[in-house]
Structure 1
Amino acid sequence: MAVCLQLTTSNSSMCLCQTFTTHLFLPILYSAMFLTGLAGNVLSLWIFMAKISGKSPTHIYLINLGISNLLLCITMPFIAVYYALGTSWSSRSLMCRLAINVLTPVLHTNIGVGMIILAWLALSRCATLVQHSHGPRPSKCIKILPKVFFSRLRQTPFALGVCMGTWAIVATASIPSVVVYSMKETEVVEDGDKQTCYSVAVEVGGSGSQAFAVIGIVIFFLCLLVVLCAYMAVIRHFYRSRKSTVISDRQRVYARVFRNIVVIQIVLVVCLLPYHIYKAIFINLAQTDSGGNGTECHSLSTYVEIKNVLLCLAALRCSTDPIMYFLLDKTFKKHTLNLIRGRSNTQDSHSSRTECGQSAPYNNSSPKGAATHDTHSHSKD
């Protein structure tokens, strides 16, 4: 049954109606994602920062990805409350202002940061494997892009600078959208009646915020294209190298990294792609919709609910990333199992030192050494 708090103005008596999907299912799902995501990301950050010494570029990217996921998790209880009680909040209430001015920007900022960091992580992995694998002929990536670019991608200070720059750029770019959305588009003129927080103004926005959303969609598809191209180049190089090499250990490394790439791509495509495709469709619907459908419910009510479900799917990645680390990364899995089994700190420290010694810096003169490092560093992906 749809939930709708009647909005009465001089021109309209329509409101956004909620079904049990938004009113009940999404709050429960966001609450569950908060519990699993908070525990998983705190554990992931602790392992990457405290248990693994000698941070590689991969570790830097994953630490920043974990921070982004953690911030996203913190917003989830408030988002759950917004969906459950948004139709009974006044648009002028403190909770509604919090949802509009804080939760929404944090949510979308961290989704953007996570996707950009994944794109840089893909480039870093591509540079490492392509340059330190010994196939029959060099990869086309090395011919197209300058060698200095590949060299810098494998440097920890460069990875740290990229992550800090990503946070600064995304946060700065979000400010104009927040100002337009929260201070202009969601400001309503009350005529003595109650305008609910869960409304067309909040959920659909205006032309200004929709323009910023289009920019975000374009950036997402550019990042997705970078990730796909980087991983396709690596897979192609793996295939060529496997056909020409007789080193079974390297073949096993390539097979494992290939499986890791498939899992990561599935997560990205399943979680993020549907929301960004539908968001573009939704913006077009919002711009052409007149609002009337012959009932008291706004004609965009169903489309808004679909958008919110897909947004929840996009946010789900913050809970699945720690599981992905556990399944794909032997070092992360080992420390996690040691923690669960209650191993002593001495044993953990000894294990960390041993693994750090195995993951020695790259040795360009030794193919075997390079392949060994690839085994450890690429399990992080």
Structure 2
Amino acid sequence: MSNNSTCIQPSTISTTALPITYVFLCVVGLFGNSLAQWVFLTKIGKKTSTHVYLANLVTANLLVCTAMPFMGIYFLKGFYWKYQSIQCRLVNFLGTLSMHVSMFVSLLILSWIAISRYATLMKKESMQEATTSCYERMFYGHLLKRFRQPNFARKMCTYIWGVVLVVIIPVILYYSVVEATEEGEKQCYNRQTELGASISQIAGLIGTAFIGFSFLVVVTSYYSFVSHLRRVRTCTSITERDLTYRSVKRHLLIIQILLVVCFLPYSIFKPIFYVLHQRGDCQQLNYLIEAKNILTCLASARSSTDPIIFLLLDKTFKKTLYNLFTKS
């Protein structure tokens, strides 16, 4: 057994709690997201851009849920499998690929939903107010208008999937073919698998920066809306539009909370993890690896809870689902 294999020792959290959690999230996520996808594809006639984004978000969620059993098996059996075994390579490749592709697709789509919801409201206001500048009319009336169009939403989602796959698949293949054979590890659960080599770590940092950018997009949309709302309230009465304002504000706030709770801890910890693991303290390294795995599980848990969020984000989805259950 190599020194690295001796140093990395999974605890009960990794070998028991994480597999159970992944299996539970998989069952809940597959049921909820399959039901949501069925509603979006078959029960909603006139689809808006939000429905297109949500349907693609559900597809990404289902991809995460299919990866969860691989992640659970890895934590349950990884320390006993041989590093060069087919099980180890298959579980690592499929689990890592599915998890990262769906994570970045979800982030992009959440950002696009935030922009779309913001654009929906700003369209009504910017074109009606006399105080609106030419720049605002052009920005809200032409640029943001495209985010509300279903055809544009379909094209954008296709581009998102294509770009994410083109970027991530080569990195995963490089890790599986090149980096995974650089050190003589014996166990599947080892330092090399958990940390990755230089290319994987650079890709991880770029991904972390991307998470920060997505969070910035949502926060900017939310606070731009709040700022606009305050300005409008000083100029005119918006009593009749209060429901619309509260709805859009709630949508942006929900997306913001999702990113804060699920993705922000993971993105903050990842750079810290890459810095601290170089000190060589085995006990500290085990703690760092387990913290990383727990935060990764938290990030993937969002995929299983999304169907509940859809009830808050989309009134058509909520009404359709309610009608189905009341009829049954």
Per the TM superposition, whether the score is higher than 0.5 is yes
User: Per the alignment, in what secondary structure is the counterpart of residue 7 of structure 2?
Assistant: coil
* CA-CA distance at 1:257 after TM superposition: 2.6
* CA-CA distance at 1:158 after TM superposition: 1.1
Whether 2:187 is the aligned partner of 1:196: answer: yes
Deviation string 1:122-179 (CA, Å, 9 cap, x unpaired) is 1222222111125573389826847432222222111111110010001000122112
1:301 to 268, 286, 300: 286
* CA-CA distance at 1:72 after TM superposition: 0.6
Code of the aligned partner of 2:181 = E
* CA-CA distance at 1:69 after TM superposition: 0.5
Give TM-score scaled by structure 2 length: 0.92
Structure 1 residues 22 and 160, CA gap change in structure 2 (3 angstroms): same
Task: Give the equivalent residue in structure 2 for 1:254.
Answer: 245
User: Per the alignment, in what secondary structure is the counterpart of residue 6 of structure 2?
Assistant: coil
Code of the aligned partner of 2:326 = R
Deviation string 1:345-375 (CA, Å, 9 cap, x unpaired) is xxxxxxxxxxxxxxxxxxxxxxxxxxxxxxx
1:319 to 296, 301, 304: 304
* CA-CA distance at 1:13 after TM superposition: 6.4
| Aligned positions of 1:360-371 closer than 5 A | none
Distance in 2, matches of 1:12 and 1:205, equals: 13
2:156 to 144, 162, 172: 162
Distance in 2, matches of 1:23 and 1:12, equals: 18
Task: Give the equivalent residue in structure 2 for 1:235.
Answer: 226
Structure 1 residues 78 and 240, CA gap change in structure 2 (3 angstroms): same
1:208 to 183, 195, 199: 199
Q: Which blocks of at least 5 consecutive residues in structure 1 are unaligned?
A: 1-7, 344-381
Give the share of equivalent positions with the same residue, in percent: 39
* CA-CA distance at 1:100 after TM superposition: 2.0
Task: Judge conservation of contact 2:205–2:271 (CA < 8 Å) in 1.
Answer: yes
Structure 1 residues 199 and 274, CA gap change in structure 2 (3 angstroms): same
* CA-CA distance at 1:12 after TM superposition: 5.9
Q: Which entry has the higher C-alpha Rg, 1 or 2?
A: 1
Whether 2:186 is the aligned partner of 1:177: answer: no
Structure 1 residues 121 and 259, CA gap change in structure 2 (3 angstroms): closer
* CA-CA distance at 1:274 after TM superposition: 0.4
Q: Which blocks of at least 5 consecutive residues in structure 2 are unaligned?
A: none
Distance in 1, matches of 2:83 and 2:110, equals: 36
For the aligned residue pairs, the C-alpha RMSD in angstroms reads 2.2
Task: Judge conservation of contact 1:135–1:237 (CA < 8 Å) in 2.
Answer: no
> Which stretch of structure 1 is more off in the superposition, 198-207 or 213-222?
213-222
* CA-CA distance at 1:29 after TM superposition: 1.0
1:43 to 35, 40, 43: 35
Whether 2:326 is the aligned partner of 1:337: answer: no
* CA-CA distance at 1:322 after TM superposition: 0.7
Task: Judge conservation of contact 2:218–2:252 (CA < 8 Å) in 1.
Answer: no
Distance in 2, matches of 1:136 and 1:68, equals: 42
Task: Judge conservation of contact 2:119–2:140 (CA < 8 Å) in 1.
Answer: no
Distance in 1, matches of 2:290 and 2:73, equals: 16
Report how many aligned residue pairs link the two structures.
326
